[in-house]
Chains A and B, each alone.
Chain A
Amino acid sequence: MAEWETIKPENKALGWFEERLPILSLVHNVVGPGTPTPRNLNYWWNFGSLAGLMLVIQILSGVVLAMHYTPDTAVAFDSVERIVRDVNYGWLLRPMHANGASFFFIAVYIHILRGLYYGSYKAPREVLWMLGLVIFLLMMATAFMGYVLPWGQMSYWGATVITNLFSAIPFVGEDIRTLLWGGFSVDNPTLKRFFSLHFLLPFVIFGVVILHIWAKKVSDSGNPLGIEVKSGADQIPFHPYYTIKDAFGMGVFFLIFAYFIFFAPDALGHPDNYIPANSMVTPDSIVPEWYFLPFYAILRSITFDIGIPGTDITFISAKLLGVIAMFASILLLFALPWLDTSKVRSARFRPTYRWFFWFLVADLVLLTIVGGRKPEGIYPLLGLLGTAYYFAHFLVIMPILGFKEKTLPLPESIANPVVKAAE
């Protein structure tokens, strides 16, 4: 951790305030000119600030939408249509918020994959990594509940499928489900509590983001070489160098985001959610939003009970096993700092891990495809294979690879290649 610099503003009033609450010093030392940062961060390091920005956009657009939305099963769908048709710029706000969720997940997924590639989760950044996973879990809960609010067919049936999962938990499952529903099926109380929690959780996320940035300040940013900062020559001030680089990245990201809002606002949604919720009609296939598809595929891939073969004795039902697999697929990431036994952080110097990283990405693409299809024909088998490979990657390949792999020699320092090349 770099030395903490104290800011003394020349303006008297500002100085008076700063003495009592050193907020300028905080910014200066965390994302400002007084924040030494590795000089070799590439564009993959842009996605943290982009994810933060998307959180702010979601909160701002969401607060305005909440002023016009009505969480009541009788009028929720109508109120969303009213927003789009009659509220000033409602036609802009709603797709901004709906597509904003997708782009928030895009930023976060790239941010997480960057961490996997460059070993950002390794010591001394384990807590930083785990706080990120907490944010991810909170985001998933928030996004799921947000998708229920328009009260279309996918909202209703998605809520029904996901809340029913909890009933698989032994002993307390049924009670948890009743608590989530606020009754005996997905209904008005469910919609109201989901709205309340959907409003609350983003602010919880905001709090954890602050802890996440704090942990980043303590352990400093990692970098593409995965080696520690050795001297001042390895570093440059965060501001203006990374602020301007983040600004450029933001411009590019927003161009793509804006394209979706203005020219393809429904491309990432499902047409069935333009049909009002109807508990008497089940849609042809119930699919979650694209960002949940890999986990949905894992959930559905388990179709066998575990018990004593040849008897009716079942220890774990297929349903419970699927739920366990789905939650475990994320929870095991908390153990990743210890599952990965390699001393080398960056995949740049891990030629074999580099292959496995891209296999994992391919596996996630496969699971995304499987999650979006009906469980017929070849898909259940593909889902099972994809699920097995996902767990094998973290539980078998990562621990073994650390011992077996011949890593490449690490460079002397971050500055060395950079500085030498310029001379």
Chain B
Amino acid sequence: MTMKFTKNIAVALIAIAGVAGAASASSKADKEPIKQVWSFEGVTGKYDQAAVQRGWQVYQQVCSACHSLKYFKFRNLAGMGYEDDMIKAFAKEYEVAGEPDDAGDETVRAALPQDTFPAPFPNENAARASNGGALPPDLSLIVKARHDGANYVYSLLTGYSDAPAGRDIAEGKSYNGYFKGGQIGMASPLSEGIIDYEGGMPATQEQMARDVVQFLMYVAEPKLEDRKHMGFSVMLFLLAMTIIFYLSMKKIWKPVKEGKNFYED
């Protein structure tokens, strides 16, 4: 009797688990991000330094007009393969707020390597006012702050198209199937040839999108390569330690396995 009862419950539970597994979460954008292969993925993944540098050029010349990078300091350029004097030169091209002068008036000075990359707008209201009410998000963590972030950003930048029939797009907005709700405040930012790559790489939309994703991933996680590098040493050490523990255990437990009585009565 109990066996039949338990079997019924087993069948019911398996059925329920099956239904739960099959019904997938509903997507909020029209399209799922396009899957791309990224050099920084996987356990041995590294940044593609040339692509990161090109992405930095794309950010400077295109994205930085509207998007800030509040956690990115000029000195972080060192991890992208730039020398100290180049970083100082980069920084000097920008102006940041300085200390008040002796009369208490505000001053500006050339940026130094320890300074944060200057934001395009002084505050949120100014940013919204210049962008038809929409707020261009800070991009420091954008790749980590979205599901499947690298593919998402790539797909978004290359995914502008005409709106499907019957879909109204408001004045000043664009249709993008990868964006939640489909209606985005940013016009397609990367048009072919919008920048001249140093080194002569053709600036196609896909190329610029791939490069800027490499750069933004670096900005989101500058220590990614350190992390994976140390991970290998740690895993190797733990593996050796575990094997030693295992062999010691086998040796120490031998008398127990042979039935030794430690507490003769």
Contact of A248 among B20, B28, B145, B242 (CB under 8 A): B242
Question: Does A85 contact B223, Cβ atoms closer than 8 Å?
Answer: yes
Asked if A25 lies at the interface with its beta carbon under 8 angstroms from chain B, I say no
Question: Does A81 contact B71, Cβ atoms closer than 8 Å?
Answer: yes
Question: Does B145 contact A382, Cβ atoms closer than 8 Å?
Answer: no
Question: Does A271 contact B6, Cβ atoms closer than 8 Å?
Answer: no
Contact of B235 among A232, A262, A374, A379 (CB under 8 A): A262
Question: Does A241 contact B253, Cβ atoms closer than 8 Å?
Answer: yes
Provide the bound-state CA to CA distance between A236 and B263, in Å: 8
Residues of A within 8 A of B28 (CB): 284
Count chain B CB atoms within 10 A of each CB in A247, A258, A262, A422 and give the residue with the most: A262
| A window 399-418: CB within 8 A of B | 404-405, 415, 418
Q: Which residue of B lies closest to A247 (CB)?
A: B245
Q: Which residue of B lies closest to A234 (CB)?
A: B263
Q: Is the interface of A mostly helix, strand, loop or mixed?
A: helix
Residues of B within 8 A of A266 (CB): 144
Asked if B165 lies at the interface with its beta carbon under 8 angstroms from chain A, I say no
Asked if A365 lies at the interface with its beta carbon under 8 angstroms from chain B, I say yes
Question: Does B2 contact A362, Cβ atoms closer than 8 Å?
Answer: no
Number of interface residues of B (CB under 8 A): 56
Question: Does A359 contact B231, Cβ atoms closer than 8 Å?
Answer: no
- Given A233-B265, A366-B13; A382-B6 close (CB under 8 Å): no
- Given A366-B16, A419-B261; A91-B223 close (CB under 8 Å): yes
Proximity bits, A198-218, B CB within 8 Å = 1, else 0: 000000000000000000000
Proximity bits, A255-268, B CB within 8 Å = 1, else 0: 10011011101100
Question: Does B235 contact A259, Cβ atoms closer than 8 Å?
Answer: yes
Contact of B223 among A84, A237, A355 (CB under 8 A): A84
**Knowing that A366-B20, A382-B16, A405-B2 are A-B contacts, what are 18 other residue pairs whose CB atoms are under 8 Å apart, sorted by A's residue number?**
A36-B263, A39-B256, A247-B248, A251-B242, A251-B245, A251-B246, A262-B231, A271-B149, A272-B145, A284-B28, A355-B6, A362-B17, A363-B13, A366-B16, A376-B26, A378-B23, A421-B259, A423-B259
Which positions in A face B, CB cutoff 8 Å? 36, 39, 78, 81, 84-85, 91-92, 231-233, 235-237, 240-241, 244-245, 247-248, 250-252, 254-255, 258-259, 261-263, 265-266, 271-272, 274-275, 284, 352, 355-356, 359, 362-363, 365-366, 369-370, 373-374, 376-379, 382, 385-386, 389, 404-405, 415, 418-419, 421-423
**14 A-B contacts (beta carbon < 8 Å):** A235-B263, A259-B231, A259-B235, A261-B231, A262-B232, A263-B231, A266-B144, A359-B13, A366-B20, A369-B21, A379-B20, A386-B16, A415-B259, A423-B259
